Amino acid sequence: MSYNFDRPRFSATIYDPVVNPDPLASGFLTYGQLPTFPIFVQAFPPSSILDITDVFEVEPLSRVTSSAGVQLNTSGTLFTISPGYNPTAYYLSDGVTKIPTGRSLTPTVNQGYAGFTNYSIDFDLENADIFNFSLDSASLVPVSQSFPTLDPDLGFSIEFDLTIVYEQSNLNRAGFSFTLISNDLSKGAEFGFKEAGTNSDYIFIQNANLNEASEGEKSTAVLEISDKNRYRVTFKDDRYSLAVNNVTLLTGLLRDYDFDPTSSNPPFPTAINPYETQNFLFFGDNTDQGYADFTLGKITIDFPPLVPSSADFNGDGMADVVWRNQAGGKVGLWLMNRTNFSGVKFISPEVEAAWDIKAVGDLNGDGSPDLVWQHKLSNRAAVWLMDGVNLLSAEILDDVGPDWKVVEAGDFNNDGKDDLLWRHAVSGANAVWLMDGTERNSGELITPVTDPNWEVGAVGDFSNDGNMDIFWRHRTAGTNVFWRMNGTSLIEGIETTNASAEWQSQGAADFDQDGELDILWQNRTTGENAVWLMDGFTLTRGDMLPTIDPAAGWTSTV
């Protein structure tokens, strides 16, 4: 374990309402209009440059701030209760009301584009033709020059608290959207949040052409957007993932958005194109085909990206280690602070010694890790559905006969609920049960491994591509190999660092909070315990954990 490589970690707080409820106070965000960013005319016709200002200088009329965040209702008219601005209108001879962008105003709802962004608009008014309202010289400029670079090659996560009290929108549009464009303009994502009934709300990603006729990937797990949820969007290489309360809802390829500002309704300058703006964020309503009443809370950016630790039993964001005593029946927890031991808890009730804990995973998608058991004699498997360290319910699973063994848990079909990986002790067949809590939806055979000396040591998304990978360990040779997977299909095998045969792999979790899964090891001969800190499929360093007397009969897992 003589590795000394450490990846630096950086976290930026963009908005923290507990520190200051004003989202503009941190200097990273401004209130804005998107996509039109119309100018605000103080007088018409304008007599000078001074009569033209941009919309960011105008406070939203419906903004309410508190320690919970900033509340904004984007429903309203542009005449009276516009959420963004209240322009001095001018009238043409035919009675049509307009503002200088050419937008026709009507006293109806759904007209507001309002939200919070990290870019302001620079009209370069010295060069603007204020009488013809040519804004070709306008451009988007960052609110803060110190805003971090959002590089998907390195990877990053953005987390934000959000409560959407009410949302209404047309088909394939959303009253609340989160738009994120990285420093690579070909890699972005725009997520729409849709209200669809109790526990039936969903999130979708806009397709690259922003076509009204279709949505991109769409979440199917139970979701209530009116709850206060913590969302995490992760970019890594060319893929994204979106999680709510540590449960992954969506994964897929990043988009290269094709958007022509001049074709927008209303049109606006080509230079003001958020989808062609590096490191761009927007939270709010960016369509006049929908609106929402929402509260936006704390926003943070993490480099490298955060990944959920399924073995976090006490809700501190750190992976904990589960211990099973084969002699006395106890189930214990090491509460961890990265790779540092911080305390012990026990889970009740005690269970007879014939039951082994085979896996830790979130089978029902509630954000709390569950325990998967299997009986040594009957071979029956069971699941404990947990709420932290508290047992909610226990269910016996379908009988599989004497030779199929549960070896790990992981979300193979990206539905936000972990599935079970099985291995046949005689034939070497391998299978995945796609689970919905304690119910098996379906089963799929995957590539077999006939040599029984190969054991599954861990399952997790080591490649950060949104798919579960499988870590294989040869129990006599000490050889270690990763299977890089696409769902339940094997893509390739990747050999990694070997380890001596007396060490056993006990599962994977992100111990050091660097956005990469790590591997837990136990030496049942010496009682030593260790964590391999990983960078994808590559070992970067090994950290030793406290030693446990092997005679005491404790076995670990994550």
Domains recognised in the chain with CATH numbers: 78-97+133-302 (2.60.120.200), 321-557 (2.120.10.10)
Quickly list DSSP for 123-163: --TTS-BTTTTB-TT-EEEES-TTPPP--TTT-EEEEEEEE
What DSSP letter does each residue of 232-254 carry, written as one string?
A: EEEEETTEEEEEETTEEEEEEE-
The C-alpha atoms of residue 488 and residue 481 are separated, in whole angstroms, by 17
Q: Which tens digit of pLDDT belongs to each residue from 203-253?
A: 999 999 887 667 788 998 889 999 999 999 999 888 898 989 877 788 889
CB 298 within 8 A of CB 307: no
Q: Are 297 and 160 in contact (CB under 8 A)?
A: yes
pTM of the model: 0.62
Other residues' Cβ atoms within 10 Å of the Cβ of residue 52: 19
Q: Give the SS3 label for residue 109.
A: coil
* Mean pLDDT of successive 10-residue stretches along the chain, which has 558 residues: 38 94 92 46 42 37 82 62 36 39 40 78 48 55 92 90 93 92 97 93 92 78 94 90 85 91 62 89 86 94 69 87 92 94 94 95 89 97 95 96 97 88 97 96 97 97 88 97 95 96 96 88 96 95 95 94
Closest among 541, 533, 517 to 468, alpha carbons compared: 517
Confidence (pLDDT) at 307? 60
Task: Provide the pLDDT for residue 131.
Answer: 42
Q: Residue 517, by phi and psi: left (phi above 0), alpha (psi -120 to 50) or beta? A: beta
Whole-number pLDDT of residue 355: 96
pLDDT of residue 221: 87
Exposure of 473 by Cβ count < 10 A (0-12 exposed, 13-18 middle, 19+ buried)? buried
3-state SS track over 190-219:
EEEEECCCCCECEEEECCCCCCCCCCCCEC
Q: What is the pLDDT of residue 5?
A: 30
pLDDT in tens, 393-435: 999 999 999 999 999 999 998 787 899 999 999 999 999 999 9
